[in-house]
Structure 1
Amino acid sequence: MPDICAIIAEYNPMHAGHRYQISQAREKSGAKYIAAIMSGDFVQRGEPAIFSKFARAAEAIKGGVDIVIELPPQYSLASAERFAFGGVRIADAIGAKFLSFGSESADLQKLLSFAENKEEEKLRENIKKGLPYAAAKAISEGEELPPNDILGVEYIRAIKKNGSAIKPLPIRRIGAGHDAAGGSALSIRESIKKGETVSLSENFSGMKPVFPEDMEMLLLYRLRTMSVSELANFAEVGEGLEYKIKEAADRAVSYTELLSLIKSKRYPMARIKRILMNALLSITKELREETDAAMPFARVLAVNKEKRELLSHIAGRTRLITNLKNCEDPAVSKMAEASNIYACAAKLPSFLDYTKQILI
């Protein structure tokens, strides 16, 4: 089988730094194919993606990727550790030889050294002090790593946890760091939200950008009609946080107020946002466990029609899914359910997972 270099990404939205990484990954790995494992309609920040997964996948193909595979929300709406685990699991399943990722240092030996560090006791202590997980993890390891280096370390750990032979391939980042203002995906999203003129690809032409506030009525309805015991079952909820969420949902009249009422020094805001999106999508702890226990699958969002032979290569290794119609596996069908909820805010029709063409 020809070599595949995987990239775990969100492309929310794609920008010049992403295209640079894709070209560098192809050059440095020498791989014939670049496979992006991309968050679907909900991203790791605990928010809806600004544009639909199909539009972002088409843009990724335009940007140099050969195939885009969806990272299910059971992994995308999770901590950096779980996000990395899910992405690497799929990369390994499709037979990727390399995993490329952006890095401030691009120092593989340094990243490998951090990945071997198991200062878990210090980590727990720092979390108890109220530090966000990523910062607590970096400090417990003796040095504050930039966000993308933290993700790189998690990718390396996930490779080991999965028992994979994938070779990590860090690419030095150009421009701003992960979601830092100035030339980043975050700055693009903020400019769009402010109504500023932003040059966007034709793949996003006529599309309504989606922001967390667009989900507020759906979210408040969902939370208000749940019991506390139901809330306790959702991913990342623990230590009585379900009571605070329920009380906040009954009082809040907006997404911003909801976050303000739940806000706590103990829980990073990103985690609270993820919990809310997990509740909206009914992603329970049990569903996460079922997804982990199930055979890995590759749900294809888009493929370069000139590289369509890659589909048969992947199908020979793992479950290849190109359409979710009649799919009864809850771990897989959750992607379509999430997209149908997203479609309400994006003003798109439902069931695009059943009808969208994947050849670009």
Structure 2
Amino acid sequence: MSVVGLIVEYNPLHNGHVHHYTRAKEISGADYSVAILSGPFLQRGEPGIISKFARTEMALAMGVDLVIELPASYAVQPAEWFAYGGAALLHATGVVDSLCFGTESGTLDLLLPLSRILAEETPELQERISFHLSAGMNYPAAYSRAAAAVMGFPGEESELLQVLQKPNHTLGLHYLIALNRLNSSIRPFTIPRIHAGYHDEMPAHSAVASATAVRRMLLTQDLNAAAPYLPESTLSILCREFDEGRGPVTWESFRGTLMHLLLTSSPQSLESLLEVTEGLEHRLKRLIYSLKEPHVDELLQALKTKRYTHTKLQRMLAHILLRHTKEEMSPSVLSQGPGYLRVLGFSSEGQKLLKQMKKTATLPVIVKPSSIEHPQLELDLRTSAAYANAFPRPEVRDIFRDYLEGPIRLFH
């Protein structure tokens, strides 16, 4: 039995994801697939346009056999911890033997040797990162420059630096670093992204667009505009979720709650929260009073500087909204890895895989959240409730769905 792992967000699942899934099974030779899916809030800090349950259903409809939730402790994080959380869960299943991810180049020639060196963060790497940060760079740029220099390619035009400045290469590198740190036997594969860049806001192809472009069409136009870029199953699920008042969810859905927290929190209490660094608590309190309109997008624009990327600031606001403290998500805590395997859904084949996984997993396999107590799980449950409370038409059964319903079963 061969099983390929995918670490995904599916926000929403589109034709590019179908290509990735199909090619991942082909090049790995896998019989089964396991997807590690981000929960309500995603790696770049924004909320999912629809719930984790709807996105799980999309994954199963496409053909994924088993969907496991990436805890919020790792889902809303920079690439290093996002990748580590996802890879650690795949490793802990005891059944996944390969990991396939997308990159701009579709090759691991440069990333594999670099990952072996960077798996052990040397004082030299840390010193170079600190140097670039002190010069005013944001963290992703500082890390790329430091990594390239450690490998002996410090020049502005070096091939390695150019590779590291592409978002999927950076995330891919951290998947490889994570597998090294876990001493995992999982084999990595990569495929090239096709027809759409990670940040492309407009489609350049008749059938494939980035998730960013798809969301833009959904929010500024309608479902029909996005339809050419979506599988029929995704379109149907989106239509149902929107019609029943469970989407679309955007940052503005949380505007009232977030503004209330910012207005009533002291700088000291804000400073205790994750990614509120280097005096940002004071900048937040100062800028919120200068906004023309109390919109999250306007606040993000006011906060943005060369040093603080839009993504870093979105993650900071997510941690403020969800009250994620630096103490509960410190590097020493995160380095211990996720504490469980939370099953969100499975197919008929996935049911067989789940039965096998219960024998091989090195972490508790959770089908009902009430079955164990864990600090990460408590965060997940609170996050899901807060997310559902922001639906256009929230209902109690949606807010407490984690407690009331089991995994999604989709048998073809």
User: Scaled by the length of structure 2, what TM-score is found?
Assistant: 0.81
Instruction: Choose from 316, 333, 337 the match for 2:378.
Output: 333
Aligned to 1:288, the other structure's residue is in SS state coil
Structure 1 CA distance, aligned partners of 2:341 and 2:364? 6
The alpha-carbon deviation at position 108 of structure 1 amounts to 1.6
Q: Report the equivalent of 2:317.
A: 276
> Contact 1:327/1:333 (CA < 8 Å) preserved in 2?
no
Structure 2 CA distance, aligned partners of 1:324 and 1:220? 31
Q: Report the equivalent of 2:343.
A: 300
Instruction: Choose from 235, 241, 245 the match for 2:284.
Output: 245
Aligned to 1:345, the other structure's residue is in SS state coil
5+ long unaligned stretches in structure 2: 119-124, 154-160, 204-208, 228-233, 242-246
> Contact 2:81/2:334 (CA < 8 Å) preserved in 1?
no
Structure 1 CA distance, aligned partners of 2:36 and 2:260? 32
RMSD: 2.0
In structure 2, do the counterparts of structure 1 residues 325 and 195 end up closer, same or farther at CA, with 3 Å as the change threshold?
A: farther
Equivalent positions of 1:1-360 (< 5 A) are 2-95=1-94, 96-116=96-116, 118=118, 119-140=125-146, 141=148, 142=153, 143-145=161-163, 146-181=166-201, 182=203, 183-196=209-222, 197-199=225-227, 200-207=234-241, 208-249=247-288, 252=291, 253-289=294-330, 290=333, 292-293=335-336, 296-316=339-359, 317=361, 318-325=363-370, 327-346=372-391, 347-348=393-394, 349-358=398-407, 359-360=409-410
User: Scaled by the length of structure 1, what TM-score is found?
Assistant: 0.93
> Contact 2:176/2:188 (CA < 8 Å) preserved in 1?
yes
Amino acid at match of 1:202: S
> Contact 1:74/1:288 (CA < 8 Å) preserved in 2?
yes
Structure 1 CA distance, aligned partners of 2:199 and 2:406? 30
Q: Report the equivalent of 2:231.
A: none
> Contact 2:287/2:303 (CA < 8 Å) preserved in 1?
yes
Structure 2 CA distance, aligned partners of 1:125 and 1:228? 28
Structure 2 CA distance, aligned partners of 1:191 and 1:168? 33
In structure 2, do the counterparts of structure 1 residues 244 and 108 end up closer, same or farther at CA, with 3 Å as the change threshold?
A: same
Aligned to 2:67, the other structure's residue is in SS state strand
Identity %: 34
Structure with larger Rg: 2
Q: How many residues align?
A: 359
In terms of mean alpha carbon deviation, does 225-234 or 251-260 score higher? 251-260
Structure 1 CA distance, aligned partners of 2:370 and 2:177? 35
The alpha-carbon deviation at position 243 of structure 1 amounts to 1.9
Structure 1 CA distance, aligned partners of 2:86 and 2:267? 31
Show CA shifts across 1:99-120 (max 9, x none). Answer: 1100121222211133245544
Amino acid at match of 1:277: A
In structure 2, do the counterparts of structure 1 residues 260 and 20 end up closer, same or farther at CA, with 3 Å as the change threshold?
A: closer
Aligned to 1:6, the other structure's residue is in SS state strand
The alpha-carbon deviation at position 279 of structure 1 amounts to 1.2
